[in-house]
Amino acid sequence: MGSYLTTERMTLRRFTEGDLDDLASLHRHPEVMRYIDDGRPVARAEVERQLERLLGEYTALPAGQGAFAASALSSGAFLGWFALRPATTPGLTGGTELGYRLLPAAWGRGYATEGARALVGYAFAELGVDRVVATTMTVNTGSRRVLEKAGLTHVRTFFEDWPDPIPGAEHGDVEYALTREAWASQFA
């Protein structure tokens, strides 16, 4: 199966229907979901629907966008995913949205930074996008740090009217962004 991107320690590739078990193990993990959606683990039946949507994105989205499964080059172990999509998260207006979600066993080893930097570079250098954006909860310190290490900067803190707010939502969400010009001056 062709890889989408290879980084120093990871290979990223398109998801397939055979990835349901790995995706379910990621999305059912309470620590992984702590700052995402309603903050609750996702049931397998819902992950099955999520996987179908992810697969559909490979044809529906602009070329090179969607969510990509990340595995360790050394062992082949599934680590999680990285994504680039036209921004749709409430509060964002335009841009190409960066996202990531890794298994706790992979945390604290620089994988998120490595993957985020690779996707940002790919978005600007290969896909020709103008602006990479991201949001996370204000209290999601790890995710904010990953965005900063990938070159994005804090644009604003904002408050959405979430239907089922989770602990920490009272501090709002943060938007980060990086323009093509700023990326070129930092990294190209």
Chain contacts with ligand COA (rule: CB under 6 A): 32, 35-36, 100-102, 107-113, 136, 140-143, 145-146, 149
CB of 148 to ligand COA, least distance (A): 8
CB of 97 to ligand COA, least distance (A): 10
Cα distances (angstroms) measured from residue 164 to each of 40, 152, 169: 11, 28, 10
CA dihedral for 114, 119, 125, 130, sign (positive or negative): negative
CB of 173 to ligand COA, least distance (A): 9
Residue nearest to ligand COA (CB): 142
Q: Which is nearer to ligand COA, 171 or 181 (CB)?
A: 171
Q: Which is nearer to ligand COA, 111 or 122 (CB)?
A: 111
Q: Which is nearer to ligand COA, 101 or 131 (CB)?
A: 101
Which amino acid type is present at position 174? V
CB 132 within 8 A of CB 151: no
DSSP bridge partners of 70: 12, 80
CB of 52 to ligand COA, least distance (A): 21
DSSP bridge partners of 182: none
CB of 7 to ligand COA, least distance (A): 12
CB of 59 to ligand COA, least distance (A): 25
Q: Which is nearer to ligand COA, 96 or 140 (CB)?
A: 140
Q: Which is nearer to ligand COA, 6 or 181 (CB)?
A: 6
